Structure 1
Amino acid sequence: MIAVIADDFTGAAEIGGLGTRFRMKVEIVTRVSIEPGTDLLIIVTDTRSKSREEAIHDIHLITAQLMKLKPELIYKKIDSVLRGHIIAELLAQMKVLKKQRALVIPANPHLGRVIKDGMYYLKDVRLHETGFGNDPEFVMANSGRIPSSDVIDILKFNNGYDEENFNIIVAKTDAPLPDKGIIIGEALSSDDLRLWAERIDDHTLIAGASSFFLALLEHLQYPYRKSLFEKPTAYFSGNMLLVCGSSFSKSKKMVAEVLAKGAPVSLMPRELLQVDGTLLSNLQDQWVADIISLFATHDHVIIAVDPGAVYASKEQGRNISRHMAKVVEKVMKRLPVQELVLEGGSTASSILHEMRLEKLYPQRELADGVIRTSVPGNTALHITFKPGSYRWPDSIWDFKS
């Protein structure tokens, strides 16, 4: 059995989708538990949305619990563009596992996300010059923008980097590796990922994005079947609620476009952006009523934040996730929803927490990172996940508009 610790639900689903390519029995859980015959156990910590102290505590506890299951490998799934408490979580995990070294490969070359000469690029553009440059998920001291695309600089700002406390380097595939510290591996291609996979050993904690996990499964020679992405329309039936919870510019642009075409889109009341939702249940109820009214004439409804609204802080993003979670839970109590489609990791985590779901089974990949899952004990409901910065399958938006 392979165990993966993922810091959000969309990342966990992405790893689960890869597991289905290798004919693995996959479970996604929010606490350490395992069913007989499971090949790939993915634990979602949601630590990217938590404080540094909470993240360290949770990773320490979950890693210790996982060790009792004696997995063949423990993989730490991180965000490919280095958001979250990456260094703090790695150090906590290394302490429990008694490992002096971690190898981290964040790049996703097939998506144009690469590290070259210590710099992070997205399709040949430096990361801080892309839409990630002002992403609220990046928590910077005194600034909402990434000041640099230097990998070490990004980790410094996100993790309170202190050179005296640990050693961190960026290394090429053929570089000699130190016995201690954290190594960020450069990668420009799938071949580079395979070279890094060949360098893993029992003395090193392994971490990275989804592409490196795929390279590891290939290196470990799991039986592989070719990935054939399947159209959502082949499976989606009944009422579908599509929740756009990402602040990423491409997502907001798509919402604006389908809204202009007259698609059934219900926007969050702007007042909910400004205040704590616990005091505004009446506004939430008004939003629920609007969504229900759209379902009276449509099978598929989109909910989103007004694409013209500005919410540049992480706390505002958390408030949006909490509001959406409350509203989705209320909608699903009032009418049957067969397909729940969630965009954005923090939004997905908030909604599943509100629904009290602790386990999911990945079923199919619909596109890169877009994974449809089933729910234990509820054959009528399926939940599909998509990271905020990934592309939607065109067919989802075609039959929405």
Structure 2
Amino acid sequence: MLLGVIADDFTGASDIANTIAKGIAPEGGLRTAQFLGVPGDPAPAGIEAGVISLKTRSIAPAEAVRQSLLALEWLLKQGCQQIVFKYCSTFDSTREGNIGPVAEALAERLGVKGVVVCPAFPGAGRTIYMGHLFVQDQLLSESGMQNHPLTPMSDPDIRRWLGYQTNGAVGAIKHSVVGQGERAIRAALDAATDGLVVVDAISDEDLIAIGTAAAGDRLLTGGSGIAIGLPRNFIRRGLASGAAAQAVGLAGPEAILAGSCSGATRGQIDSHKAEHPTLEIDVDRVMAGETTAETIVAFMLRNRGRAPLAYSSSTPDGVRQSQAQYGREAVADKLDRLFADTAKRLVAEGVTRLVVAGGETSGAVVSALDLGALSIGQEIDPGVPVLVSQGDRPVALALKSGNFGAPDFFTKALQRMTAHGQ
């Protein structure tokens, strides 16, 4: 294995796995597998890039560090020459962490400094300029992310936000340097005295230049965009031959579960409602034990073949009211358990195509299913590929971060997940 990735959630893991598997034309990408948690066994033969999916974004910082270091040790044992710590392109974190503590711990273990911090993903509208993170034409703190129920992002200055989370100083490489290309970026990284360095990027070309400049670095951190140019580095050195993402998928019964409160997901739900059966999951009924996994599974089975959707995706005001009444952790835990139990029962009932929206929801679902290594298929929308598990009873998955995907994402995902990936 050449390239190893530690991702702090499951949707983000499939996002960067998709980026690495695609690579850049004409070279192509690397043979990539996604692992659900730290594997207990060595990687399958022939895998050039391994992405370990953790669920560490909103847990205690010390535990996030512990799990990430375990993932690092496994990847190093597989022979990885370069490690990427992947987090969300909206830098989802609190003032306490977990991005800063994990990045510092990985850097310390690898004995490196001048580590790139770049959550930019221009293809999805995330850019960094003068150290500030934008979503489309809005500052992060005005994009809706300030209302995130678990990791509200109230400050777009990534250097300052990261400074709250870390022990050392945080450096910066501005776009005036990045725009000069890889040699200027390399010189700036070599001159860095800080452990972590926030690097501007407003285009894919910037990210490719950053990736090329960092070809020999042991550690990079960022969103999935930071990996755009990394496969080419290994291919040009003759360590990999290049490969295109395969068309993998499955036929069979389908279900859609949405637990994201993002504006994009709510719009996708509204679009899907117009032509498909939907079930709204009311938080009050869930907390009272009136809506259960059996309720949702029965709805899905009654509507098999019609792309049924069950969702718990309230407005920011609705989320705040529920959290005030029941407690933030209690609501999140109850919904995670509900979606996890529902997914297990659906698969047991023969569902083979499962679309899941929301990072926390996706993490709960795939942890419950315990599917092992996942093959990376074709891209559905930017950042979201088809995933297929191995074994006697394979399952096709689409794990969507809340803010990702076009309005018709749900129906498009189910179509791409069919037997030939069409």
Counterpart position of 2:171: 169
Does the 8 Å CA contact 2:372/2:389 hold for their aligned counterparts?
no
1:36 paired to 2:45? yes
> Which residue matches 2:308?
301
How far residue 379 of structure 1 moved from its aligned partner, in angstroms, is 5.2
* Correspondence 1:5 to 2:6: yes
1:68 Cα shift?
A: 2.4
Paired residue type of 1:68: K
Structure-2 separation of matches of 1:190 and 1:399: 25
Match of 1:86, as an amino acid? I
- 1:262–1:190 Cα change, 3 Å: closer
Q: 1:331 to 1:225 in 2, by over 3 A?
A: closer
Q: Following the alignment from structure 1 to structure 2, what is the Cα–Cα distance between the partners of residues 56 and 100?
A: 18
Q: Bigger shift: 17-26 or 342-351?
A: 17-26
Correspondences of 1:206-355 after superposition (within 5 Å): 206-220=220-234, 221=236, 237-259=251-273, 261=274, 263-274=276-287, 280=289, 283-295=292-304, 298-305=305-312, 307=314, 310-312=318-320, 315=329, 316-333=331-348, 335-355=349-369
What corresponds to 2:162 in structure 1? Answer: 155
Instruction: Describe the SS at the equivalent of 1:48.
Output: coil
Q: Corresponding residue for 1:27?
A: 33
- Alpha-carbon RMSD across the aligned residues, in angstroms, is 2.8
Aligned residue pairs total: 377
User: Percent identity over the alignment?
Assistant: 21
Deviations 1:251-296 (A, max 9, x none): 113313433x252112224325546xxxx3873323332333233x
Partner SS, residue 47 of structure 1? coil
Does the Cα contact within 8 Å between 1:344 and 1:386 map onto a contact in 2? yes
Distance in 2 separating the partners of 1:28 and 1:363:
11
The offset of 1:78, in angstroms, is: 1.6
1: CA distance between counterparts of 2:394 and 2:38? 24
Q: Deviation of residue 161 (structure 1)?
A: 2.8
TM-superposed deviation, 1:67 = 2.1
- Paired residue for 2:383, among 354, 365, 369? 369
Structure 2 equivalent of residue 124 of structure 1 = 137
Whichever residue aligns with residue 72 of structure 1, its letter is: Q
Given that 2:245 and 2:377 are in contact with CA atoms closer than 8 Å, whether structure 1 keeps it comes out as: no
The 10-residue stretch of structure 1 (244-253 or 214-223) with the greater mean CA deviation from structure 2? 214-223
Unaligned runs of 5+ in 1: 139-144
Aligned to 1:141: none
Moved more, 379-388 or 121-130: 379-388
Give the conservation status (yes or no) of the 8 Å contact 2:207–2:225. Answer: yes
Q: Distance in 2 between matches of 1:236 and 1:395?
A: 18
Q: Does 1:134 align with 2:147?
A: yes
Tell me how far apart the structure 1 counterparts of residues 394 and 71 of structure 2 sit (CA, whole Å): 31
- SS of structure 1 residue aligned to 2:165: coil
Q: Which residues of structure 2 form unaligned runs of 5+?
A: 23-27, 179-183, 415-422
CA distance in 2 between partners of 1:105 and 1:399 (Å)? 28
1:169 shift after superposition: 2.0
Specify which of 50, 56, 79 is matched with residue 88 of structure 2.
Answer: 79
- Report the more deviating stretch, 145-154 or 99-108: 145-154
Q: Which one-letter code corresponds to 2:318 in the other structure?
A: V
* Change in 2 beyond 3 A, CA 1:55/1:380: closer
| Aligned residue among 348, 356, 360 for 2:370 | 356
Match of 1:65, SS state, is helix
Q: Secondary structure at the match of 1:70?
A: coil
Counterpart Cα distance in 1 of 2:389 and 2:73? 27
CA 1:70 to 1:381, structure 2 compared with 1: closer, same or farther past 3 Å? Answer: closer
Q: Which amino acid aligns with 2:68?
A: I
Is the Cα contact below 8 Å between 1:82 and 1:155 reproduced in 2?
Answer: no
Counterpart position of 2:126: 113
Give, as a single letter, the amino acid of the residue that structure 2 aligns with 1:28: Q
One-letter identity of the residue aligned with 2:55: D
TM-score after normalising by structure 1: 0.84
**Contact (CA 8 Å) 1:386, 1:392: kept in 2 or not?**
no
Query: Could you say if the C-alpha distance between residues 170 and 273 of structure 1 is closer, same or farther in structure 2, counting changes exceeding 3 Å?
Result: farther
Separation in structure 1 between the aligned mates of residue 118 and residue 381 of structure 2, nearest angstrom: 22
